[in-house]
């Protein structure tokens, strides 16, 4: 699409990639939850999601190095046909390389398909529609929590490069600011490995309460102060984001009275928050003329997530057959 210089084609291509990722999450998350004892479900899912975070840590650094250097992004560059073409060719090579990597993953999954099928929980009866999950208040509550979490996480990640580049924050070159975003996602990776370990002794719902409160306070700091303090507070949010997605996922599966497959489908549908809440944050930043006030959007999101987490602490799991439970609940 970039070779054809066709912007709508780029959007279609990104939509296809996002659809594939969503399908993988719908299938993989319940599978991970089922692979092992019930008491370790949240710990296992946090561990597997930590490797997702490894990719999101490397991605911004590598992407900034490949996409935000040379061409129209070179120091003192003027946007011309030549510099624009140079930048587009960098994008071409980056995505073609990713395509080759995805092909290798597909080969691996194909060769391991018998082991995966043997480990997967056996389905009974006809296929279940995701709309079945609408009959369970906890499935809806969990989907809203995923909506708010992903929207908040993506809003922060999307604003960080421009935020760190701002003169009243770090005044960093755009390539440097882009690479620093890796610290945000790296914090999520470290937090998931740490969270997977801590959940052997701390109830996941209680750990979720602490992380949501900490993330909300950091957003408040970012919105009220400037300079390096705001920069490093924003980057630190990633550490507390770490356990949220997998923990919300397993806590909801435990409490939902709908079939596990239907609940999982509704939960993953909630990631559409990553497309909507960043738009709200962007409009606030545009209206204010600076990015810091837009952190009020994820701050309110973390307040809502704290309410979800407290409700999980106060409510015992209901779906102990279809989904694993966690020690301490």
Q: Read off the pLDDT of residues 147-164 as tens digits, 9 standing for 90 and up.
A: 999 999 999 999 999 999
From start to end of the chain, where are the E strands?
Answer: none
Residue-wise pLDDT tens digits, 31-78: 776 777 666 776 777 777 777 777 777 777 777 777 766 666 666 667
Distance CA 58, CA 157 (A): 14
Answer whether residue 28 shows pLDDT above 70.
Answer: yes
Q: At what angle do helices 244-255 and 204-224 cross, to 10 degrees?
A: 140
pTM (predicted TM-score): 0.74
Which of 78, 140, 97 is CA-nearest to residue 267?
A: 140
Q: How does DSSP assign 113-165, residue by residue?
A: HHHHHHHSPPP-SS---GGGGGG-HHHHHHHHHHHHHHHHHHHHHHHHHHHHH
Distance CA 123, CA 312 (A): 27
Percent of the residues in the chain that have a pLDDT greater than 90, as a whole number: 40
Residue-wise pLDDT tens digits, 281-301: 999 999 999 999 999 999 999
Higher local confidence (pLDDT), 232 or 5 = 232
Distance CA 34, CA 38 (A): 7
Mean pLDDT, rounded, of the chain: 84
Torsion of CA 242, 248, 249, 254, to 10 degrees: 140
Residue-wise pLDDT tens digits, 186-225: 888 888 888 878 888 899 999 999 999 999 999 999 999 9
Task: Identify the band that residue 312 occupies on the pLDDT scale cut at 50, 70 and 90.
Answer: very high
pLDDT at 329: 30
- What tokens were used for 298? 């994820």
CB 222 within 8 A of CB 234: yes
Task: Identify the band that residue 111 occupies on the pLDDT scale cut at 50, 70 and 90.
Answer: very high
Answer whether residue 323 shows pLDDT above 80.
Answer: no
Rounded average pLDDT over 302-313 = 96
CA-to-CA dists, residue 249 to 122, 135, 240, 268, 284, angstroms: 20, 17, 16, 9, 30
Q: Half-sphere exposure (CA, 13 Å, Cβ side) for 177?
A: 22
């Amino acid at each position: 699409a970039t070779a054809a210089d066709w912007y709508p084609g780029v959007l279609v291509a990104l939509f296809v990639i996002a659809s594939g990722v969503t399908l993988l999450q719908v299938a993989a998350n319940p599978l991970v939850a089922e692979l092992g004892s019930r008491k370790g479900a949240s710990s296992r899912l946090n561990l597997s999601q930590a490797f997702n975070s490894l990719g999101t840590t490397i991605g911004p650094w590598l992407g900034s190095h490949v996409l935000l250097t040379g061409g129209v992004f070179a120091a003192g560059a003027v946007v011309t046909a030549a510099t624009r073409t140079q930048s587009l060719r960098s994008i071409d090579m980056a995505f073609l390389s990713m395509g080759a990597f995805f092909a290798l993953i597909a080969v691996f999954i194909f060769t391991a398909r018998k082991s995966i099928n043997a480990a997967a929980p056996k389905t009974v009866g006809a296929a279940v529609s995701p709309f079945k999950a609408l009959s369970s208040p906890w499935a809806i509550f969990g989907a809203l929590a995923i909506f708010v979490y992903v929207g908040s996480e993506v809003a922060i990640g999307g604003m960080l490069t421009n935020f760190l580049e701002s003169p009243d924050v770090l005044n960093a070159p755009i390539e440097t600011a882009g690479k620093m975003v890796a610290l945000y996602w790296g914090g999520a990776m470290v937090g998931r490995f740490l969270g997977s370990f801590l959940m052997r002794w701390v109830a996941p719902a209680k750990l979720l309460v602490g992380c949501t409160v900490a993330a909300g306070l950091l957003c408040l700091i970012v919105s009220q102060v400037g300079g390096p303090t705001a920069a490093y507070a924003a980057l630190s949010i990633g550490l507390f984001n770490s356990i949220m997605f997998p923990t919300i996922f397993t806590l909801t599966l435990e409490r939902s009275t709908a079939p596990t497959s239907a609940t999982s489908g509704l939960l993953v549908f909630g990631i559409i928050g990553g497309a909507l809440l960043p738009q709200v944050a962007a409009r606030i930043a545009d209206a204010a003329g600076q990015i810091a006030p837009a952190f009020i959007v994820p701050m309110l999101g973390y307040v809502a997530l704290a309410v979800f987490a407290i409700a999980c602490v106060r409510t015992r799991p209901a779906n102990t057959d279809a989904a694993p439970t966690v020690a301490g609940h």
